[in-house]
Structure 1
């Protein structure tokens, strides 16, 4: 009987969570400006919006992490990177790197040598490859605000950061009551908000953990050339191309003079 009750409660909790993730964003009828997050089933991620302060629906979360945990699909890498880096109960003093989801960057910490979370890496580079490529970049809160022309009737070309499209776009500003996501030039907008994705050509070569022997190509940042390596068939990273030509096309802007056979 207790087991059936527990299953029923779990099912109800899951159903409530899924229901919260389904509705469209609804700021409600009130006029407050409360930064919140909602899950976009179209974008398959959590996005920011301004909540009016009353009514609306359940697709309304105070933090990005709360929305992500409730609604967004997570990979093993994401679960690992979202965990808090932990020293563990042992007394070792190993220097490790963990991803700080609040700051959106990898930070050094001291690991005791046992237990703790899986959010630990031997180098900063490996931490960034695993976490910064899989997780959304945490922007300045100003960049998460929607386009806002304001109540005035002026005509001032400005730029704002479109968090859905991940780019800076022009809009017409009325001239008063800016919400901050308002820049005079596109360069100013990019400097504040735009973050380029991790460049796959700079990833170190990684054969992966499996046992296959597949000939692939990777870009070598030391020799400035595409080179052959043996891929195991699983894991690894995106600096992995089936042909030399595909590697060259993707990474040519980094290349030096490449000798050809």
Structure 2
């Protein structure tokens, strides 16, 4: 879903509204709130020292700061609880993924990918070729693997790859797994090359890549010994303990190995 959302940076003397187009399934309200929560704290030009709370995108916690009393921005909450509730949709990600993208000091124009904390998506930016920071990935797959791990954990690696048409001239309808949308989608395959994120039908794609589908079709296997075996072992242990307690009264001691051999 592509949505144009408008979020207002509520100041104390004026309201400034900005628009931004994003792609994703989050509600406009959630996107607007994340845009606010990823702002830096602003004291403002006034000189009061009012204790307030802001969401620190770099520590991923709500922290106290001194507000000057005017202007500033909307990442400004009267209580810790208000901050926590407002910013609860900001995803917990690795440190490098919390950074703003940096072009760097060189002048090349290289397309790279960064994680946008506001939209929760991996997006393109222009990299100068040197300097910058670690929120800089050569491919969308690298970015997704590094920064959207909670959603991609357990998904086979081939399902993180983009759809690849290949280099031949055929036009076969196939399915690939779109990790950004967490869904299987159609594309046209040329008939050669490409990659393994390429399925003849939607059912196979879902079976391989969809966590929900794999969970519903997989058989749950007990860990360790079968339940019946563990139950019998537990009963034998209980019997041994009862026998030991009885013998202890008579100054004797039960032998666990001997008891096991009797069963």
Question: TM-score normalised to the size of structure 1?
Answer: 0.32
Question: Whose helix fraction is larger, Structure 1's or Structure 2's?
Answer: 2
Question: TM-score normalised to the size of structure 2?
Answer: 0.32
Query: Bigger radius of gyration, 1 or 2?
Result: 2
